[in-house]
């Protein structure tokens, strides 16, 4: 038991003291091996074996980053956002702030599945709209909640794009390793309740908590220095970009590989001249760098999970906790969710949390005789809990950096606290109820 809680506790402690996440995971892995009585050689061997499970995931991320960089190079995202901010739809609306929030939410939603560029859309879109938001006194805390909710819901519920990574490559793969059969489980049935919780919390944030106007001095918003003006792309570029997006999405669905879809989509940009051949390598590497930190974190997390599994303490821990919570399954489920929240707060990535909590808690759920679909809901929710409120998550860092492009948005007060109360807590409560209902 000390191996599991000692190593995870060290991981969380190091993360909160802003130690590099990969370094924190590696140090926690070494400590876990020592606490379990493994030799250094055995610990490293176990870690290396686990790392292999994260290689495909990391390559998926890297290729998606390259595709996102190619899309940005086309100029269409910048042009679309700048024209949107000047659109009569917004300027002539009775309540333009709601239209702005709706647009931001839709952009976040499609960035995970339909147009899988993850957080890359945020610096392309949000700084351009800051003047517009400030002009209508839109509370940026509501914008932060919209972005975070829009980033998390799609990958939890739709097995396409980043959802394919989270659900199929990480969640289902790790559950299968632990002995939970997932081949006939509907992710929609498993995750509709947690998604409803996030939507409920977002609605409360938009229509209640942050409904009142908030003043942002317009003289501080120098829009042209924040984002350069982009001319209208040619009809040819628009057609090519649409074709590349459609091709990447279609190939991903047909082949089941995001790598193939992303690389073919990027290749279309090169072949058609949207990206110059001479600069294609630089753009590709820029995309890889954009996603590299996330990829390395996920690889390291898989190694850490392997050491915990090889320590031999998971099953005894499972039996102990199952006996402790016998007759109190609801409390056990809630405890697992809280643990997932704490781990994700420290790591900053739900994608990296799932391998860790799956190796620790799936044996416990099997001892409790939970239904497979309830286990899917429990682990998927526990892994995603901290993503929308962790100080070190790209889901909160990217919105904060863009909303603070004019130095009028605080990362902790205006992003972390609002998303914790309006996104994370509803997800926790509705996810808990969802697990209970599915286990009946």
- What pLDDT was estimated at residue 227? 42
The structure tokens listed for 258 are 């995001």
Give the tens place of pLDDT for each residue, 196-235.
Answer: 999 999 999 999 999 999 999 876 665 444 444 456 777 8
Give the tens place of pLDDT for each residue, 13-32.
Answer: 786 676 777 888 889 889 98
Give the tens place of pLDDT for each residue, 371-396.
Answer: 999 999 999 998 898 788 877 677 88
Dihedral over alpha carbons 137, 140, 142, 146 (to 10 degrees): 120
CA separation for the pair 142, 139 (Å, rounded): 6
Per 3-state DSSP, what percentage of the chain is helix, strand, and coil (rounded to 5)?
A: 80, 0, 20
The residue assigned the tokens 């820029």 is: 286
Average pLDDT over residues 36-46: 89
266, 299, 301, 271: which is closest to 284 by C-alpha?
Answer: 266
Q: Chain-wide mean pLDDT for the chain?
A: 83
354, 334, 344, 363: which is closest to 428 by C-alpha?
Answer: 334
Give the tens place of pLDDT for each residue, 76-86.
Answer: 766 776 676 66
Stated length of the chain: 440
- What pLDDT was estimated at residue 246? 85
Give the tens place of pLDDT for each residue, 277-310.
Answer: 888 888 888 777 767 766 777 788 778 878 877 8
């Amino acid at each position: 038991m000390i191996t599991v809680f000692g190593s995870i506790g060290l991981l969380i402690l190091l993360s909160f003291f802003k130690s590099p996440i990969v370094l924190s995971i590696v140090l926690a892995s070494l400590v876990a091996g020592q606490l379990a009585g493994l030799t250094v050689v055995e610990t490293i061997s176990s870690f290396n074996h686990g790392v292999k499970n994260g290689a495909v995931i990391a390559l998926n991320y890297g290729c998606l980053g390259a595709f996102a960089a190619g899309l940005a190079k086309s100029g269409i995202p910048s042009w679309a956002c700048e024209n949107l901010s000047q659109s009569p739809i917004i300027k002539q609306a009775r309540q333009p702030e709601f239209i702005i929030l709706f647009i931001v939410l839709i952009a976040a939603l499609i960035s995970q599945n339909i147009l899988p560029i993850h957080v890359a859309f945020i610096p392309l879109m949000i700084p351009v709209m800051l003047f517009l938001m400030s002009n209508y006194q839109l509370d940026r805390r509501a914008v932060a909640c919209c972005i975070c909710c829009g980033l998390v819901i799609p990958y939890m519920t739709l097995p396409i794009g980043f959802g394919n990574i989270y659900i199929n490559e990480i969640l289902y793969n790790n559950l299968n390793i632990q002995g939970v059969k997932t081949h006939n489980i509907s992710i929609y049935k498993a995750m509709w309740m947690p998604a409803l919780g996030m939507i409920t919390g977002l609605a409360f944030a938009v229509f209640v908590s942050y409904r009142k106007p908030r003043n942002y001095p317009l003289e501080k918003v120098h829009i042209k220095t924040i984002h350069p003006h982009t001319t209208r792309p040619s009809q040819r570029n628009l057609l090519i970009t649409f074709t590349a997006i459609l091709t990447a999405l279609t190939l991903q669905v047909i082949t089941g590989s995001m790598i193939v879809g992303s690389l073919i989509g990027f290749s279309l940009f090169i072949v058609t001249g949207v990206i110059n051949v001479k600069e294609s390598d630089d753009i590709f590497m820029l995309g890889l760098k954009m996603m590299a930190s996330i990829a390395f974190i996920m690889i390291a997390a898989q190694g850490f999970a392997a050491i915990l599994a090889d320590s031999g303490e998971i099953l005894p821990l499972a039996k102990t906790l199952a006996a402790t919570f016998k007759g109190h399954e609801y409390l056990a489920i809630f405890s697992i969710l809280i643990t997932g929240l704490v781990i994700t707060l420290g790591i900053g990535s739900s994608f990296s949390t799932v391998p860790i909590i799956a190796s620790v808690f799936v044996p416990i759920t099997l001892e409790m005789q939970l239904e497979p679909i309830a286990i899917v809901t429990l682990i998927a929710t526990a892994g995603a809990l901290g993503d929308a409120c962790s100080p070190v998550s790209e889901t909160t860092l990217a919105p904060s950096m863009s909303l603070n492009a004019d130095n009028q948005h605080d990362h902790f007060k205006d992003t972390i606290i609002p998303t914790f109360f309006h996104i994370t807590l509803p997800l926790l409560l509705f996810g808990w109820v969802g697990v209970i209902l599915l286990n009946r």
